[in-house]
Amino acid sequence: MANDSAFLDWNSNTEPDLLGYIIKFGLYPGTYTHTVGLNNGTPNPPSQATLTNTYFNSDGLWYFAVSAFDNSSNESALSSPVSKRITRTQAKLRHVR
Amino acid sequence: MPTFYIAPSGTDTPPPVGGTSTTPWRTWAFAFANSNPGDTLIVQDGTYTRAVNGVIALAKFCTITTPYIIQAQNSRQPLIQDDGAGKIIHIYNSSYITLNGLRIRSIDNSAFPASQNLVQIGADSVDGFPGAVTHHITIKNNIFSHNNRYGNTALLTGRAMNDSLWEGNEFYDYHRHACNLGRDSHRNVVRLNYANSRNRADISGGFPSGWTSVGDSGFIHYTTGGTTTAADNIFENNISEGNGNGFDVEAVNGPHRNKFVGNISLNDQQGVWLRARSTTLLSGQPVDCLLENNVIITPAATAFRLSGNRNTLVKNCTIYDGAAVGFLADVEADPATGTAFDGAGTVSVFGTNILTILNTTGVSIVTTHTNPDRVIDIWTMTNVNAFGNTTNFSPASSNPNYVSPTTINPNLGAVRCWIPDASPMKGIGVGGADVGANILYRYASVPGTGTVTLSATPLWDLITGEFPHGAIIGGVNDTPTTSCYNVHTRLGIDPAQFPAGYGGVPDTTPPAIPTGLTVT
């Protein structure tokens, strides 16, 4: 995966009323300023996602965590975080100019 | 409205001295003669016998605003003990009467081999009342048991009875029929009853029944001898366990337009059997009947059988683990003549969203026979899922009368009476419905309408999973393997398995925390 995007993958939850997942991410561990919801309308929502460079507004070490939610709007606690250093392609181009 | 009292050892003194809680009456006849429409007769605890208290022979025309109520002072504590002579309770030429909370039982008595039912509602010419009509009779929360096996006797029979409700009764220990809706009966509702014959076998020298080692049927609509075509009756949310036939129709004169909805057959020999009994007449066929959201679990013989029906519609039923055919549509022959029991001649069956699994044959439609009158003339089976049967479809699923047949593992887990949220049967049926039955909420059809109504009231107790039941009486309905109070355990009803949000109880349990997160 390129340095300007992030591919996230995790184990599927098994609750029968599972509706989707929420990816939370930001530049500081435990402080997540961005969210992305995943819900394809089935009891088996996808357990992986690609965040392209448009999701990131600055370069740096980004931290990611995932929660699950069900059809009663109950949301789990966040997973253990993971991190990746993001270097935006667009930013590099501006720097060259 | 006056309230009167009766007790096993009371005194028949006219009111105002007699009929009170402290000076109750003794005999039923005296009580009925001294009370009127609009009154309530409270039945005090104890054992009532034919010799001391007489029989409950009641003929009172009451109205919706002046009903007559016979009510146990303490639910199921009064015992009406018959001696086998038959009809210990007979309500006829009557309307708007309620019988609530009694126990009624008989004994085997070889001196009375005649066909006398233990309790009969309604009467006709056979009973000496030609043209009589009985209507709006409520029989609720009673326990019926122990028919006289020397006779052809049902525990509870309706005859020439209309617009009535039988609800929340329990039936035990019988060799013939438990709950029999008989001839000339219209627009009645039979609801939330439980019937278990407890392996009561035929008795030597007694009346030979159809199933010799168990009771013949839990719930039967038996219209032989009728002068009208019985119609528009509804059987809803009843449970039959350990009977010959769970739900049985013998169509001699009707039924037409009958509905069986939300019923359960557990460990019966046959779960459901609707059968024609005429070789020539439309009135001798089940016609325009509906069977929806019924569940048949582990029958010892054919699970679900439609013989000689016309335009019967089967929707969203689950047939589970039968020892023979799961769903059978056929035409029987008159054993005396060999002529087909196909009524007026056209036999038709239509099935949608049926789930039939783990039987010897999932679906069997008789389409070929040496007698051309013994085949199903018109049929379609739409969105039927047959899985894990020795033979899933007969004829084969390539027959064009099947529409979208499937053989998918439904993944029911331990659930039988509804389709779990995670099952692949969710939403794949006609109109986006599930394939299979969902028995979760109570039906609440109104007698007199012939129209099925499903309520939003949960059927199963949200905490315990129990099926609705009345008082538990020691030695009567507390046998743990054959009683109503815990049938939910034998049905695998587990509140932890209820669908999310069942009964309006908020689901506040969050999903598990996702694990194994990686990023690249």
pLDDT digits (tens, 9 = 90+) for B317-333: 999 999 999 999 999 99
pLDDT band at A97 (very low <50, low <70, confident <90, very high): very low
A1, A3, A7, A10, best to mutate vs chain B, most B CBs in 10 Å: A10
With residue B32 as reference, give the H or E element that holds it.
helix B28-33
Strands annotated E in B224-267: 234-236, 239-241, 243-251, 259-261, 264-266
Closest CB to B520: pick one of A7, A10, A70. Answer: A7
Chain A residue whose CA is closest to B510: A74
Phi, psi at B374, each rounded to 5°? -105, 30
A1, A3, A12, A15, best to mutate vs chain B, most B CBs in 10 Å: A15
Contacts of B510 in chain A (CB under 8 A): 68-70, 74-77
Spatial CB neighbours of A66, under 8 Å, sequence gap ≥ 6: A8, A10, A21, A22, A23, A24, A78, A79, B514, B517
pLDDT band at A96 (very low <50, low <70, confident <90, very high): very low
3-class state of residue B503 by DSSP: helix
Q: Model-level pTM?
A: 0.85
The DSSP bridge pattern shows strands A48-51 and A6-9 to be antiparallel
The low-confidence residues of chain B, meaning pLDDT below 50, are: none
Q: Is the ipTM of this complex over 0.95?
A: no
Answer yes or no: do A16 and B422 touch at CB < 8 A.
yes
β-pair partners for B248: B220, B273
Closest CB to A11: pick one of B500, B514, B519. Answer: B514
Spatial CB neighbours of B428, under 8 Å, sequence gap ≥ 6: B383, B385, B406, B434, B435
Strands annotated E in B50-188: 56-58, 68-72, 78-81, 89-91, 95-100, 103-105, 119-121, 134-140, 143-145, 156-158, 161-162, 165-167, 170-172, 177-181
Closest CB to A15: pick one of B501, B506, B511. Answer: B511
Task: Please give, rounded to a whole number of angstroms, the shortest distance from the CA of B471 to a CA of chain A.
Answer: 36
β-pair partners for B58: B91
Tell me the pLDDT tens digit for each residue of A24-66: 999 998 889 998 888 766 667 889 999 998 899 899 999 999 9
**Can you give the pLDDT at residue A93?**
44
- Please check whether residue B177 is in contact with residue B155, taking contact to mean a CB–CB distance below 8 angstroms: yes
Q: What is the mean pLDDT of chain B?
A: 95
User: Is the model's pLDDT at A91 over the cut of 50?
Assistant: no
